[in-house]
Structure 1
Amino acid sequence: MTKQAQQTVLAAELPERGQPLGGGVFVTRYWLNGGERALILLPDELSGPWGEYGVEIKGAGSYSDGEANTRAMAEAGSVIAVKALELDGFIPSCLEGQLLMAAKADGLLELREDRYHWLSTQRSAHGAYYVDFEGGWLYTGAKGHERLARPVRSLIIQ
């Protein structure tokens, strides 16, 4: 059983971007589903296929809500999604992946550039999005290919 991660953070207690927070590195503030949130990059690195090629997963198509996408992926049997949730994290969405890239470009994060990283946003029954952290490009690729995933955590800012 995993230890329940911190769920909220006070705005006055937010560190500078690139500093430790909530078991990882504070990336940035952003808005999601009507609330302000703090995005945190976790230190873990996962590897595996996104899911089963040819199977569309309902609830995994959000461009902004990686946690909802990851939960839908896990319910459908995605091993990397299950692992991310066990870390009290999730696989970033397209938006959250681009926020990671922006922080990397600002010199606040180090992200591997030698491998592509899965995002949790599904494109179709056959493909899902992934990002190249060397140049920040978004692509879609076959879900059955093995790629890395860098889990993140999102805390509600109060």
Structure 2
Amino acid sequence: MTKQAQQTVLAAELPERGQPLAGGVFVTRYWLNGVERALILLPDELSGQWGEYGVEIKGAGSYSDGEANTRAMAESGSVIAVKALELDGFIPSCLEGQLLMAAKADGLVELREDRWHWLSSQRSAYDAYDMVFVGGWLSGNAKDDERLARPVRSLPIQ
């Protein structure tokens, strides 16, 4: 029998930002597609290519919905996207990456500063967004470059 991941969280049961929640660290509350959600940084660190250079992935262009982007990436064969989904998480979008940077700047989470991290938001057939957490720099790089990814989880708040 496998353990099923938590699917929702009650507003009254949310911990303070930076405290444990659902297998990770509670980053912040945010709104996505009309639903208030809790963003959780998972402890895992993945490494790999975003995808194939020159191939545009339909459904991976959202600036805000990292889960939808990651599912589209996985369907196209992205190894790091598949690994993130196997952890019951996903690669953060540009918006979710900026929320992680804000939590890091507030001293609530630790993120590596020595490497660029993939975000799930596709920029073009050739590039995807990435971020370095030393100063929150957002950039676009070739999808076939090797980068880190820190999966997150997002739970609807009830």
What's the TM-score bracket when you normalise by the shorter of the two chains? over 0.9
Q: In structure 1, what is the equivalent of residue 116 of structure 2?
A: 116
> Could you give the per-residue CA deviations for residues 20-44 of structure 1, whole angstroms, max 9, x where no partner exists?
0000000000000000000000000
Give the distance between the partners of 1:77 and 1:16, measured in 2 at CA.
37
Q: Does the residue aligned with 2:101 lie in a helix, a strand or coil?
A: helix
Q: In structure 2, what is the equivalent of residue 5 of structure 1?
A: 5
Give the distance between the partners of 2:92 and 2:124, measured in 1 at CA.
17
Q: How does 1:2-81 map to 2 (within 5 A)?
A: 3-81=3-81
Q: Percent identity?
A: 88
CA drift of 1:2 comes to 6.2
TM-score by length of 1: 0.98
CA drift of 1:4 comes to 2.8
> Could you give the per-residue CA deviations for residues 6-29 of structure 1, whole angstroms, max 9, x where no partner exists?
110000000000000000000000
CA drift of 1:3 comes to 3.8
Runs of 4+ in structure 1 deviating by more than 4 angstroms, as ranges, are: none
- When the two chains are superposed, the root-mean-square deviation of aligned CA atoms in Å is 1.0
> Could you give the per-residue CA deviations for residues 94-131 of structure 1, whole angstroms, max 9, x where no partner exists?
00000000000000011000000000000000000000
> Could you give the per-residue CA deviations for residues 59-81 of structure 1, whole angstroms, max 9, x where no partner exists?
00000000000000000000000
Give aligned pairs, total.
158
CA contact (8 A) 1:2 1:87 kept: no
Q: Write the letter of the residue equivalent to 1:73.
A: M
Q: Which runs of 5+ in 1 are unaligned?
A: none
Q: Write the letter of the residue equivalent to 1:16.
A: E
CA drift of 1:90 comes to 0.1
CA contact (8 A) 1:2 1:88 kept: no
CA contact (8 A) 1:15 1:26 kept: yes
Q: In structure 2, what is the equivalent of residue 133 of structure 1?
A: 133
Give the distance between the partners of 2:114 and 2:30, measured in 1 at CA.
28
Give the distance between the partners of 1:2 and 1:144, measured in 2 at CA.
34
Give the distance between the partners of 2:4 and 2:147, measured in 1 at CA.
27
TM-score by length of 2: 0.98
CA contact (8 A) 1:39 1:152 kept: yes
Q: Write the letter of the residue equivalent to 1:56.
A: E
